[in-house]
Amino acid sequence: MAFTKMNRLHWHITDAQSWPLVIPTLPELSDAGAYAPGLVYSPGDLADVLQYGKTLGVETAIEIDMPGHTSSIWFSHPELITAFNTQPYETNCAEPPCGSLKLNSTEVYSFLDTMLDDLLPRVGQYSPYFHSGGDEVNVNAYLLDETVQSNDTAVLQPLMQRFIDHVHGKIREYGLTPLVWEEMLLTWNLSMGHDVLVNCWLSDESVVETVEKGHKAIVGNYNNWYLDCGQGQWLNAYRNVSDQYYPWNDYCSPRKSWRLVYSLDPLNEIPENSTHLVVGGEVHLWAEQIDPVNFDKQAWPRAAAAAEVLWSGAKDPVTGQNRSQIDAAPRLSEFRERLVARGVMAEPIQMPFCTQNGTQCYL
């Protein structure tokens, strides 16, 4: 990241399937919720990553996604979670196993205070940010929440507002800036302080709507900047429904090539008097099919194409047109060689013939 002048790491450190983060005051979370005893981030591991990033000019924003994507809490605290592992999962969540924090539970608030009082002071030594999540919350989960028993947004919205107010208040108490996914602002229509940074991932229009509401936006349209797309479906299909999913593409297929990454204009349709609210962008690499074996080639050098767009702008300042992939391709190939020389297993963007023979590989 530092090689490309990317200076923020958004670390989505917990999710529905696993809670690998060790919280010393709540050790049962990772003891019961991690994939295996060794697959955890200790307080020392966390500090090492945050400190290492800081030495390279990369600040890390830790994310505890909530209230959705919290099923892994159930293994140690089932009293806090609604709709755990319900079937079919599509009814209550975006991916298995289902489970959301209850929305009107004093026990949930007590848990959050304990967890955040432990984590935030340690994070705050290295970073000014903390991400409170908020994506893909399915209202149907709260039909099964005995503290709510409703999927009516008119009932749920005030409860979600209270939830976010509490979490963001706690984040600010430790001097940190809150981040959220766009759904909290654009789907749930919550009121949030203008210090809150909003991750926009669903469309360019989401960025426009966010800045129209006066909020700072982080660009990350999944149609261009999701680097895990195109790997094929990670869920298995039973024989009787297999034909529905053929050829088993994932939800965001096809794969986003470096040229597609390079083509995104973070300021698309943003009025000139609001461009200052687009404070940056991020490419995303979700880990359903990513691990240390294939991480490098999935991230690099495509992430570098986004880095150039973010630092240099999507448009050439002289012509006013989008920057040319013809100009970028040889530079990106050269940068890829630098990454490989430094031990990063970045994938090639063209064969050597193309970089050695001028314009013969041009369409």
Active site residue ranges: 136
| Burial call 344-362: b when 16+ CB within 10 Å, e when fewer | bebbebeeeebbeeeeeee
Neighbour-count burial of 254, counting CB atoms closer than 10 A to its CB (0-12 exposed, 13-18 middle, 19+ buried): exposed
Strand segments, DSSP code E, in 13-155 are 59-63, 81-82, 100-101, 129-131
Picking from 272, 205, 207, 187, the residue whose alpha carbon sits closest to that of residue 197 is 207
The residues, ordered by sequence, that sit 6+ positions from 308 with a Cβ below 8 Å of its Cβ are 4, 262, 323, 328
Can you tell me the distance from the alpha carbon of 64 to that of 132, in angstroms, rounded to the nearest whole number?
A: 6
Angle, alpha carbons 286-227-242 (nearest 5°): 70
Neighbour-count burial of 151, counting CB atoms closer than 10 A to its CB (0-12 exposed, 13-18 middle, 19+ buried): middle
Can you tell me the distance from the alpha carbon of 62 to that of 40, in angstroms, rounded to the nearest whole number?
A: 15
Measured CA distances, 248 to 25, 61, 113, 257 (Å): 43, 34, 42, 19
Strand segments, DSSP code E, in the chain are 8-12, 59-63, 81-82, 100-101, 129-131, 177-181, 197-200, 216-219, 278-281
Three-class SS of 86-114: CCCHHHCCCCCCCCEECCCCHHHHHHHHH
Residue found under tokens 């990369």: 58
